[in-house]
Amino acid sequence: MTDGPPGSHTGSIVMAMTSSLCTSGEELWFPLLMRAADRAAGGKTNRFKMGVNAVTMVTVLLASLTPSFATQVGLSEKVLVFPYETDFSFVALIPQKEMALRAFTLCMRVATELPEERQIILFAYRTADYDELNVWREKDGRVSFYLSGDGVFFRLPPLSTFRTSLCLTWESRSGLAAFWADGRRSTYQVYKPGHSVRPKGTVLLGQDPDKHLGGLEATQSFVGEMTDVNMWDSVLSRSMIQAWHYGHKVPKGNIFDWASLEYELSGNVLVVDDD
């Protein structure tokens, strides 16, 4: 074995330990685990001075983190609480079908006390090369969404500490896009007619990955409550969106259905009863 800086072999062990958890479906977790390992080692300046104690710390750390990445199912009558601004707390959603979309309806109920001048990510879907579908509350209070490039912006009633029912519809043929706030539709805007959302990406609630392998920023993170995240691969009618807003029965989302949703928690995210 070739000699190296003190502790370099130990560092390699830590790299191998973390890498073993990062299979093709979990690439996003790798930078977070490595950052935690780096902190356990005393920071970047001491990365090559890791000894047995550091390996032990990382082993315990990874053992404690691994269950949080276990897939869980179903959030019926539950709320996700993101209590703090972080660059590591998020919920990964596993779609029921590939997200190759020519139309969609995305709905959620959200509440936040973050000030209007603070940008907030509400929904993030990213493939290896693009932000395929992102929904934001912008710094000027507008709500926006982006499909692989420049976004489109809407002036809606402000998000607040009281829950807002928020839906977004878009279809490729005409490019018609609209937000729905508490059952009321915004004006239509024409946005990216002919576009297709590409599959094989990662969906996160709570964070915006600036690259496929991470790049999370605390100042963009969601802080507040989120529930009833549902998504369909078609544009729902006005009557269905209003029925969903009032809590009436509607067809289950065929991409995401809150009641049977497959998801993975990371960081400081709480799952609580929807009282």
Around 130, how many Cα atoms within 13 Å sit in the side-chain half-sphere?
Answer: 12
Is there a single domain that holds both residue 23 and residue 151?
no
Domain count, the chain: 2
pLDDT above 60 (res 35): no
For residue 2, tell me if it sits in a domain: no
Taking residues 13-26, report their average pLDDT.
38
Where residue 247 falls among pLDDT bands split at 50, 70, 90?
A: very high
pLDDT above 90 (res 68): no
Give which of 209, 163, 169 is closest to 187, Cα–Cα: 169
Query: Are 169 and 178 in contact, with CB atoms under 8 Å apart?
Result: yes
Range of the domain at 52: 8-69
Is there a single domain that holds both residue 108 and residue 192?
yes
Place of tokens 């959200």: 110
Q: What is the pLDDT of residue 69?
A: 61
For residue 1, tell me if it sits in a domain: no
Is there a single domain that holds both residue 171 and residue 38?
no
Last residue of a domain, one of 49, 69, 89: 69
Last residue of a domain, one of 33, 48, 69: 69
Mean pLDDT in the chain?
Answer: 81
pLDDT above 50 (res 234): yes
Percent of the chain at pLDDT exceeding 70: 73
Is there a single domain that holds both residue 103 and residue 231?
yes
pLDDT above 80 (res 4): no
pLDDT above 90 (res 250): yes
CATH number at residue 158: 2.60.120.200
Of 26 and 95, the structure prediction assigns the larger pLDDT to 95
